[in-house]
Amino acid sequence: NGVLDFEELVLLIHLYRHTEGFTQDELEQLNSIFSSEQKVRQPGHAKELTQVARLTNILTKFFGPKYAAQANALCDELKSASYSNSGDLQFSEVLVWARRLRDDVLKGFREAFDKYDEDGSKTIDRMELRHLLADLGYTLSDMAISEMVSITKERGDWHEQDSEDELDYDAFVHFMMVLRETEGFTRPELEEIKTVFTRFDIDRSEDIDVVEVNDMLHYYGYSTTLEEVFCLLARMGYPKGSLDLPEFICFMRLRREWELRAIRDAYDAQRGEGSETLSAAQARKGFIELALQGQVLPCQWSMKSESWQPGGASASAVDLKSLPIAEQVGFEEFVRLEDANRSIRVQELRKRAGFASSEVLRYRGLFDEHDSNSDGYLNTEEF
């Protein structure tokens, strides 16, 4: 009935002491992670233990790669505490530190919510939410935001009176939890990412190393070297040079934000002062610029500038003249069209095994020149 008597309050506090406020599903997930990190039981200890040094891994696996720095800070605090001299933690102690990190996360949510509740209505609308997400490094489409709201509703984390266009603090927290899990990707996008991860996890180690990441980037149309990829992973906070699936999803979010940054720059470069949309002619110029620019990663940017540098791609991979473009194009439509253009360019690049069109023509000329009997094959001597 929404009211607690004294005995019920005592039981609730007792339950909270054992769960630290986590749900049953969350406890099972944490316990599974703890078990994978635990040590062999020590003589005289009936309970399973794990090393203090493993706390960062446990918290990062549970909360996600974006919270690795906060998890590491808590681990350092624990190492410096006088009661941690044994160097080992029970699950109940890990649970306390997980709650500490969750409290920090919720504190951050509250600060962000209050900052962007510009009108003081105790809710944030779609526009305020977009500004908040942008501040957190996310550029999400209306479709992605709507799907995340739907997922929250499916879990029962949404009150009937809550509006999809306005979120109170509780609804906002649930929304952010979904964002943490999905990194802002839609369900089909997540399935594709998981498929790509499995495809390039050649040794089935459940993580992909520098070589496999490099192969994956080539698959997406980037021309990278192993050195550049290793540098990129180090800059992202993965100095070990490999990514598990949650880290890979986070990496793909960053990769998507790099793409969107380039698209936004091209869009803004064509947009007239005071205008929020592009004409069809302006949009085509933007697409040509992006095609000529190619796909460039931060590790390939000029050290003197944070702007995108030309990647040497060919605009001829897409017939821009026949591209159906509306008379006025907003940013989301511009992104959708550029994604289609880029998909075609990448497919063409895969067909050429990563070689430029001019290189393929040169190799075709050499092949035809040495194919003396014109049968479409080179014998050993001709080769």
Residue located via tokens 């979120």: 167
Chain-centroid distance, C-alpha 194 = 12
Q: What's 205's DSSP letter?
A: S
Report the pLDDT value the prediction gives residue 12, as an integer from 0 to 100: 92
The neighbour count for residue 70, using CB atoms within 10 Å, is 18
- Distance of alpha carbon 142 from alpha carbon 113, whole angstroms: 19
Report the pLDDT value the prediction gives residue 302, as an integer from 0 to 100: 39
Report the pLDDT value the prediction gives residue 268, as an integer from 0 to 100: 92
Angle of helix 245-270 relative to helix 187-200, nearest 10 degrees, comes to: 120
What's phi and psi for 311, nearest 5 deg?
-105, 0
Name the residue type at position 243. L
- pTM score above 0.85: no
- Distance of alpha carbon 54 from alpha carbon 72, whole angstroms: 10
In this structure, what token pair is assigned to residue 330? 């907003």
Cα angle value 249/294/213 (rounded, 5°): 35
Report the pLDDT value the prediction gives residue 289, as an integer from 0 to 100: 85
Q: Which of 190, 191, 192, 211 is nearest to 202 (CA)?
A: 211
Cα angle value 227/212/341 (rounded, 5°): 90
- Distance of alpha carbon 134 from alpha carbon 156, whole angstroms: 27
Report the pLDDT value the prediction gives residue 43, as an integer from 0 to 100: 56
Residues in the chain: 383
Taking CB atoms within 8 Å and a gap of at least 24, the contacts of 38-44 are 39/88, 42/88
| Per-residue pLDDT tens digits for 10-47 | 999 999 989 999 989 899 999 998 988 766 555 555 56
CA-based radius of gyration for the chain: 26
Helix or strand run (H / E) with residue 300: none
- Distance of alpha carbon 213 from alpha carbon 197, whole angstroms: 9
Name the residue type at position 46. A
Which residues does the chain have with pLDDT short of 50?
84-85, 301-317
- Distance of alpha carbon 160 from alpha carbon 172, whole angstroms: 14
